[in-house]
Amino acid sequence: MNEQQNLNETDYLKNLTIASEIYLNKKEIPTAVLLNLVPDNDAEFEVYYGTTYPDHKLSETGFFYNTSQLIFEQVTAHKNNDFYLPSLQLISYADGEFAEIFIEYLKIIIEMDKQKFCAAVREEKYRSYNPIKYYFEMNHCK
């Protein structure tokens, strides 16, 4: 299991490196690369959020916030269904300084189609995480 997790973290880091190079060159990040920025676990999220740390080369660029926004806009503005569950997964990490913007996008996603949100979250593991859990219950999803 540890070997598989290390492999996944390495793959994640490779994708993050590709995305950051594209971002720093002010080019459009391909949707496949953007989609793979969504962390699958806490370790990957730590790598992604780690780009905001003062000692990281991306800390002054807004990479984390801007790419998160791009991921959410794939659902909210572009109606790209491939990003629907990944967006909710990313939102499940809402905490601290970025929680407010993540929750704002969650509200937009719910407003777009409450039934779709309820159906999607009903089956997903991140339903137990706030703010997903809170909005699942608040919207009387069953």
Q: How far apart are CA 78 and CA 86, in angstroms?
A: 14
Residue 7 has pLDDT above 80, yes or no: no
Residue extents of the structural domains in the chain: 2-138
Mean pLDDT of 73-90: 96
Q: Any idea which residue has 């720093």 for tokens? A: 24
Q: How far apart are CA 100 and CA 30, in angstroms?
A: 26
Mean pLDDT of 64-81: 97
Q: Is the dihedral of CA 28, 33, 36, 42 positive or negative?
A: negative
Distance from CA of residue 84 to its chain's centroid?
A: 10
Distance from CA of residue 137 to its chain's centroid?
A: 21
CA-based angle 134:137:138, to the nearest 5?
80
**Quick one: 129 exposed, middle or buried, by C-beta within 10 A (0-12, 13-18, 19+)?**
middle
Q: How far apart are CA 14 and CA 16, in angstroms?
A: 5
Radius of gyration of the chain (CA): 15
Mean pLDDT of 80-104: 95
Task: Identify the pLDDT of residue 9.
Answer: 61
Q: How far apart are CA 96 and CA 51, in angstroms?
A: 15
- What is the reported pTM? 0.90
Q: How far apart are CA 25 and CA 35, in angstroms?
A: 19
Mean pLDDT of 48-53: 96
Whether omega for the bond prior to residue 131 falls within 30 degrees of 0, making it cis, is: yes
Calculate what percentage of the chain has a pLDDT beyond 70: 94
